Chains A and B, each alone.
Chain A
Amino acid sequence: MLKEGQVRIPSGCAISGILSRKGECFSGETIIKSIELMHDRSNGLGGGFAGYGIYPQYSELYALHIFYNDLTAKASAEDFINRHFDVENAGKIPTRRVKGIDDSPLIWRYFVSPRQFKLQESELDEKEYVARCVFRINGEIEGAYVFSSGKNMGAFKGVGYPEDIGRFYMLETYDAYLWTSHGRFPTNTPGWWGGAHPFTLLDWSIVHNGEISSYDANRRFVEMYGYKCTLMTDTEVITYLFDLLIRKHGMTLKEAVDVVVAPFWSEIELMDEKDKKRFDAIRAVYASALINGPFSIILGFSGGMMALNDRSKLRSLVAAEKGDNLYVASEEAAIRIVCPTPYSVWPPSGGEPVIGLVEGKK
């Protein structure tokens, strides 16, 4: 049977995200509790988490989290890493045995910075250099897969129910100001750890519920800009879209949102001249970046998160606030289990982003 990346597998899911806008760190136990409540939205074939602010001691280094199928893959990948990066620290990511989680690959972590002369030789900016190295490891080294590559953040994922995955990775030992999580319900059984969510690139992480019907239009668009969609998943292509629009095209998060969930023509016609001109141009130039079909996503980044629904709101998404904390989840119950008395709870409209930023961070 073909595994993820060789075939496109649609899946339904549960998502949850919790942000402290004060930037106060809290352990991963909370997010596990939230996603666990939505157990029935997953089917045990994928779960994962992203935490931001978890590596304060290495905050200026890229944390590469890598799955290896075997030691040969590890040797080749490490050879590549040593040639392209200075490695400050490396080791196995600590895990514990959990019932229901087996067949785990080798899971390693490296804190690295680009080798200066290599970086200069490449004439790329640092982020592009790291991104290209990640693409090369994932595309060229058989059996090695980088599943997290940001600074002071990390993804933890695998095949299993999300709560089991969380305990497997001992997330209660990490403190983050932002946690996102995902439970997966794929309609096929690939059983590949790399295929679980979140999907990440540099500091971006995406958890996603839905099946976008514009997938191949979006994929073929981003692939024109040097991205390689090796997983054939919605999350992968959505991550690249945001990376392209924000990092490469220099847009703000809000502008990128205007592109991927551009308003309907019927709404644009009612706008004033300035906005009409803006959205006419967006829909003309970025027609292939419009994300269509049902989705709800949580995009995590250094300093905040954004939750977003497709413009027809074909997937559930609820948001809540209590003090400085912002909660988003597929179901309200998943918020109330960790925050029983939020000050406000609302269902964001289709295409209307919920953006939470940590004070003082850009």
Chain B
Amino acid sequence: MSLQLNWPDYLVERDENKCIQCEVCAKQCANEVHKLDPDTGKMVSDDMKCVDCHRCVTMCPTRALKIRVNDLEFKPNANWTSSAIKEIYKQAASGAVLQSGMGNPKPYPVYWDKMLINASQVTNPSIDPLREPMETSVFLGRKPAKLEFNPDGSLKTKMPPQIKLSVPIMFSAMSFGSISGNAHESLARAATKLGTLYNTGEGGLAQEFYKYGPNTVVQVASGRFGVHPGYLNAGAMIEIKIGQGAKPGFGGHLPGQKVDEAVSRARMIPVGSDALSPFPHHDIYSIEDLRQLIFSLKEATNYEKPVCVKIAAVHNAAAIASGIARAGADVIAIDGFRGGTGSAPTRTRDHVGIPIELALASIDQRLREESIRNEVSLVVAGSIRSSADVIKAIALGADAVYIASAALIALGCHMCQTCYTGKCNWGIATQREDLVKRLNPDVGAERLVNMITGWKHEIDEMLGGMGINAIESLRGNRLMLRGIGLNQKELDILGIMHAGE
């Protein structure tokens, strides 16, 4: 038996004067931190089990609870940090790979925060979005090289399938299984109400979700869970998932305990069995194989749906994206290394891949150099946190963005980063019935709609400030950005000038 050398990461502080022993905290905590001590009649807590999700703090009727980061520290050491030491203790005890939930938390540069947006002054009037039209609609899909018209003015060119989004923001892939049915339902309803898309992830599609089809991206991942002709034809767009920003080069693993009756039906696997997605697609070992899958999916859907290929942002993403465009993809989605996940190996999450801002800038530039940028749509993901990030992504060259972590936060996620335990107290990353019902999809959908509506207002205002009344005029308009505190190499890759230039 190994020694347990770790101590609690968080401390639960209870104000005994306020606590009324109502046991709400004990009932709310799936991690079983709190319990009533029958001998003393007082509430006690096991700090070791606390994940800092704030459920108890939020629900406590007398505000008696507070969670603090444990300030017990090792002797200061810039190299052997406390997390480096504690992770070794964990592995020495278990012999296992370290697991993490949600996106990369390390202090790598966040380039969104090192770019500033322009506004009009004097030489060019800003536009008041309350008085003038302000347009945020975008189309995703393959574009012909040019348009031709008949003599009567009607369109002669046959347009490939296009999806019109009312805002350039979609909900990114999160499978039913990794998140709850109610979380899924909240996303689907919000996407429908907003005129955008949500994404099934690789979890298949439960029958009751088919009605949201026109606002659904159906994903085909390496495990091919739940993929059949009805599924492919149910959605507005098909996405081939090659990689994910949080774990590039990695597959997926949904533990058997999350595979209940409903998840089993949607994924077409037995109840209780682990759902393992292989690292690569075993029918895609090269770019020409990808082309075959793209066209198989197009054949299966009568060339009526755009096909998107999603990759993680890796070192040579620009060349890969160019290959994907030439392989016939209509939309390319790039997921940066800060993208979220239900579960990823900690080392992969924290050390593999590159920031989405740099990947986006180099991919957009590369596709332009090859004169094919206009033919495909570019969607970026991997930690878009606000409308300002959306604006910056579009100015760097994206057509639209995917958000997932932000959407979950709108649903109540407190970023405790332990999704993989299946004990999400907020009813999001869990299949436990008592936890799932904590998230009401009516409320969830409304909160998502509110967030995107707020972002859209902010986008309108920033566009108007720049003297732009249609978001397509911002796309790739890098003169609208300036870097702050960046070196020349970073500026060159981003294709922007420094503030003051």
Contacts and interface: CB of A to CB of B under 8 A. Distances in A.
B8 interface: no
Contact of B124 (A216, A248, A250, A293): A293
A100 to B, nearest CB: 24
Interface in A212-254: 213-217, 220-221, 223-225, 248-251
A10 B139 contact: no
Interface string B473-486: 11111111000000
B124 A10 contact: yes
Nearest to A10: B123
Interface residues of A, number: 46
A133 interface: no
A266 interface: yes
Interface of A: 8, 10-12, 187, 210-211, 213-217, 220-221, 223-225, 248-251, 255, 264-266, 274-275, 277-278, 280-288, 290-294, 311-312, 314
A235 B152 CA distance: 31
B153 A278 contact: yes
A94 B476 CA distance: 44
Contacts of B154: 274, 277-278
B144 interface: yes
Interface in B140-159: 141, 143-144, 146-149, 152-155, 157, 159
B124 A220 contact: no
A266 B137 CA distance: 11
Contact of B476 (A248, A280, A288): A288
B135 A265 contact: yes
B275 interface: no
B467 interface: yes
| Among all A-B residue pairs, the 5 with the closest Cβ atoms | A214-B473, A287-B472, A292-B473, A216-B479, A213-B467
Interface string B114-132: 0000001001110100001
23 contacts: A213-B124, A213-B473, A215-B477, A216-B478, A217-B474, A220-B368, A220-B477, A221-B374, A224-B371, A251-B149, A277-B154, A277-B155, A280-B159, A281-B159, A285-B144, A285-B147, A287-B138, A287-B475, A288-B475, A292-B468, A293-B467, A293-B473, A314-B125
B470 A292 contact: yes
A216 B470 CA distance: 14
Which of A220, A249, A291, A312 has the most chain B CB atoms inside 10 A of its CB?
Answer: A220
Nearest to A217: B477
A269 to B, nearest CB: 11
B133 interface: yes
A288 B137 CA distance: 13
Residue of B133, B138, B469 with most chain A CB atoms under a 10 A cut-off: B469
Interface centre among A10, A214, A255, A293 (most CB of B within 10 A): A214
Contacts of A211: 123-124, 467
B399 to A, nearest CB: 8
B55 interface: no
A288 B155 contact: no
B162 interface: yes
B146 A249 contact: yes
Contacts of B368: 220, 223-224
A214 B153 contact: no
Contacts of B35: none
A311 B372 CA distance: 28
Given A277-B154, A281-B159, A282-B147, 5 more contacts: A213-B120, A214-B468, A216-B480, A224-B371, A293-B467
Given A292-B468, A293-B467, A217 B374 contact: no
Given A281-B147, A285-B147, A312-B127, A217 B373 contact: no
A248 B148 CA distance: 12
B124 A210 contact: yes
B472 A217 contact: yes
A12 B123 contact: yes
A288 B477 CA distance: 9
Contacts of B476: 216-217, 220-221, 288
Given A12-B123, A213-B466, A290 B472 contact: yes
Given A210-B124, A213-B468, A224-B368, A290 B473 contact: yes
Contact of A265 (B132, B137, B479): B137
A8 B479 contact: yes
A294 B149 contact: no
B143 A284 contact: yes
B147 A216 contact: no
A28 B67 CA distance: 82
Contacts of B144: 285
A290 B162 CA distance: 19
Contacts of A265: 133, 135, 137
Interface in B446-501: 466-470, 472-480
A349 B475 CA distance: 26
Interface in B313-365: none
Given A217-B475, A217-B477, A187 B135 contact: no
Given A266-B133, A278-B155, A281-B147, A215 B472 contact: no
B125 to A, nearest CB: 6
A278 B480 CA distance: 30
